[in-house]
């Protein structure tokens, strides 16, 4: 079926990243996505009415060697459409891990059509900043189809072929429609000028960024950032302030050893530099119920989204009951506490805020000493509270575990563990025992 289609080379004329060396600083703002024409919507009549079983069955074949499957997929894609290579970063390891995890999650959750549509739509919106256009869907899904056939080998049947083709056509149509809708609403990416670069400690900087056009978000969300130094490499950073009238965003970045983007942002960026920003994403939100108090548990730069949430609650406080906020700010050593002055200003403006600095081990420290989850465990009462946790993935998992007997699960909020785990671990596809990501992954 696919062979009957127009297989014209799907090249990309869309520069989605700063080019490695040739793009001048002047050129970058002119590349704002707002100048792109919106993707065309596919006219194919496609339904979600296909047999899921042959697709799920084949997932086992793909999962037997995900690395080989993804290498095959991208080899097929780039052999048939060499210009599409330019959409992807130089190093593809992390991409292969992420694509396999997401694809496996979608396949595993295919029975829930509404959920699958949401995941595909969110992916499509995210993919706009990579420069993915309507014309790229067909070559990509043809490569997925070829990969499925290849992985099945002699087990490949006509039934499988029909199911996979229908599913992939449906994926493509849902994604193309969602991308087109999103293009009516917002650009695919923003350029942002760093208007303040405040190096707070050896490893942490607070950057204030001015997007070239309004970038809407709610407190608790994060954006993906790309730097001049690392074309096409996007990393997530939580926005550290509630939305402001002037549109400025703060991010708190900790340079990790050998980390590409974090080191670039902390050590190689300065006021006046340009970064690219993706649309805001993430599900952490200020709780709707104004009667509930908040307990915020921040490890290191995990402070960022929790400061934004705190600011949002403080900003929304009217004449009625002021919600109590307890903010635990955990660090290894007290010298890592990089934002106490701002937190103190917030506290003075909003006396119902209590800030508790926690250092892991330090003799004579004036705050609390101990591991953050253990200190939070001693919190007096979680009655009528929402708990927000942000920071390293280990801290989140441990705190969730520690609090599981004291706080109902639907009152505990944090960014998706799977995304954080991917960010933290050197990516490997050879971890065959790892379960596929759930469709709920970010
Ligand atoms: C939803 C979300 C929100 C995030 N918010 C923030 C934020 O507000 N502030 C912030 O600083 N970061 C945040 N991160 C992490 C951030 O996205 C990057 O993963 C991090 O900055 C490292 O990227 P890098 O390109 O510098 O490192 P990479 O080049 O990707 O990694 C290089 C090496 O460093 C290791 N590494 C990666 N992360 C860590 C780590 N945390 N500690 C030690 N080693 C590590 C890797 O295993 C790898 O070996 C967030 C991540 C997610 C998923
Ligand atoms: C169901 C289909 C698809 C799935 C499950 C999928 C999954 C993913 C995931 C999980 C990522 C990493 C995102 C991130 O790090 O934020 C990604 C990146 C990317 N995808 Fe897709 N994708 C799909 C379709 C497509 C299509 C149709 C294209 C068209 C070419 C495409 C091109 C890209 C590009 C260019 C990147 C950026 C690579 C990177 O930065 O690592 N994807 N994809």
Ligand 2 and 234: CB distance under 6 A: yes
Taking a C-beta distance cutoff of 8 angstroms, is the pair 284, 309 a contact?
yes
* Confidence band for 5, pLDDT divided at 50, 70 and 90: very low
- What is the domain partition of the chain in residue ranges? 1-28, 53-185, 190-277, 293-431
Question: What is the average per-residue pLDDT within 137-147?
Answer: 97
Instruction: Read off the pLDDT of residues 309-348 as tens digits, 9 standing for 90 and up.
Output: 999 999 888 656 689 999 999 999 999 999 999 999 999 9
Q: Using the structure block, give the residue that is written with the tokens 């090249």.
A: 11
* Confidence band for 30, pLDDT divided at 50, 70 and 90: very low
Return d(Cα 98, Cα 359) in angstroms, integer: 34
Chain centroid to CA 222: 7
* Confidence band for 424, pLDDT divided at 50, 70 and 90: low
Domain 293-431 is found in CATH 3.40.190.10:
no
Give residue 418's pLDDT. Answer: 75
Q: Which CATH architecture has domain 190-277?
A: Beta Barrel (2.40)
Q: Whose CA is nearest to atom 31 of ligand 1?
A: 259
Q: Using the structure block, give the residue that is written with the tokens 């909020």.
A: 413
* Confidence band for 427, pLDDT divided at 50, 70 and 90: low
Neighbours of 8 (CB within 10 A): 10
- 80 C-alpha to ligand 2 centroid (Å): 17
Ligand 1 and 263: CB distance under 6 A: yes
Give residue 48's pLDDT. Answer: 84
* Confidence band for 105, pLDDT divided at 50, 70 and 90: very high
Q: Tell me which of 1.10.490.10, 1.10.10.10, 2.60.40.650, 1.10.101.10 is the CATH number of domain 53-185.
A: 1.10.490.10
Neighbours of 185 (CB within 10 A): 9
Return d(Cα 295, Cα 310) in angstroms, integer: 10
- Round the average pLDDT of the chain to a whole number and report it: 86
DSSP structure string for 143-209 = HHHHHHHHHHGGG--HHHHHHHHHHHHHHHHHHHHHHHHHHHHS-S-EEEEEEEEEE-SSSEEEEEE
User: Hey, what are 252's tokens?
Assistant: 């708190």
| Choice from 207, 254, 259 to test ligand 1 binding pocket (greatest atom count within 8 A of CB) | 259
The pTM assigned to this predicted structure is: 0.86
Give residue 425's pLDDT. Answer: 56
Instruction: For residue 252, give Cα distances in angstroms to 6, 95, 265, 360.
Output: 47, 25, 10, 20
Question: What is the average per-residue pLDDT within 210-232?
Answer: 96
- 424 C-alpha to ligand 1 centroid (Å): 6
Return d(Cα 379, Cα 407) in angstroms, integer: 11
Instruction: For residue 177, give Cα distances in angstroms to 11, 181, 439.
Output: 20, 6, 19
What residues pair up with 329 in beta bridges, in sequence order?
298, 357
Question: What is the average per-residue pLDDT within 81-102?
Answer: 93
What residues pair up with 326 in beta bridges, in sequence order?
295, 354
Atom of ligand 1 nearest to the CA of 230: 25
Atom of ligand 1 nearest to the CA of 442: 1
Range of lowest pLDDT (7-21, 208-222, 349-363): 7-21
Atom of ligand 2 nearest to the CA of 144: 2
């Amino acid at each position: 079926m696919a062979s009957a289609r127009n297989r014209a080379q799907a090249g990309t004329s869309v520069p989605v990243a700063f080019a490695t060396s040739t793009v001048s600083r002047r050129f970058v703002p002119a590349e704002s996505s707002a100048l792109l024409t919106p993707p065309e919507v596919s006219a194919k009549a496609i339904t979600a009415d296909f047999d899921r079983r042959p697709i799920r069955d084949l997932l086992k074949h793909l999962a037997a060697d995900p690395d080989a499957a993804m290498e095959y997929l991208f080899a097929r894609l780039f052999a048939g459409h060499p210009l599409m290579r330019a959409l992807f970063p130089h190093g593809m390891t992390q991409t292969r891990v992420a694509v396999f995890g997401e694809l496996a999650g979608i396949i595993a959750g295919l029975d829930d059509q509404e959920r699958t549509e949401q995941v595909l739509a969110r992916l499509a919106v995210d993919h706009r900043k990579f420069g993915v256009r309507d014309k790229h869907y067909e070559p990509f899904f043809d490569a997925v189809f070829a990969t499925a056939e290849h992985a099945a080998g002699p087990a490949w049947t006509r039934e499988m072929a029909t199911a996979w083709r229908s599913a992939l056509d449906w994926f493509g149509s849902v994604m193309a429609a969602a991308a087109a809708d999103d293009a009516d609403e917002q650009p695919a990416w923003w350029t942002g000028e760093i208007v303040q670069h405040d190096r707070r400690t050896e490893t942490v900087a607070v950057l204030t960024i001015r997007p070239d056009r309004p970038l809407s978000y709610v407190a608790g969300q994060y954006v993906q950032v790309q730097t001049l130094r690392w074309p096409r490499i996007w990393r997530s950073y939580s926005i550290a302030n509630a939305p402001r009238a002037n549109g400025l965003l703060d991010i708190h970045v900790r340079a990790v050893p050998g980390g590409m983007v974090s080191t670039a942002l902390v050590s190689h960026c300065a006021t006046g530099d340009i970064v690219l920003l993706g649309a805001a994403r993430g599900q952490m939100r200020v709780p709707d119920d104004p009667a509930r108090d908040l307990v915020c548990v921040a490890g290191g730069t995990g402070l960022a989204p929790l400061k934004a949430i705190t600011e949002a609650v403080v900003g929304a406080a009217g004449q009625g009951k002021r919600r109590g906020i307890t903010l635990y700010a955990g660090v290894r050593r007290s010298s890592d506490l990089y934002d106490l002055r701002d937190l103190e200003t917030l506290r003075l403006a909003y006396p119902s805020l209590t800030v508790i600095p926690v250092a892991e081990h330090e003799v004579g420290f004036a705050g609390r000493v101990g591991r953050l989850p253990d200190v939070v465990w001693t919190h007096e009462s979680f009655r009528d509270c929402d708990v927000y946790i942000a920071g390293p993935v280990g801290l989140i998992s441990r705190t969730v575990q520690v609090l599981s007997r004291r706080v109902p699960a639907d009152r505990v909020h944090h960014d998706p563990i799977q995304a954080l785990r991917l960010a933290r671990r050197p990516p490997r596809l050879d971890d065959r025992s790892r379960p596929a990501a759930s469709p709920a992954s970010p």
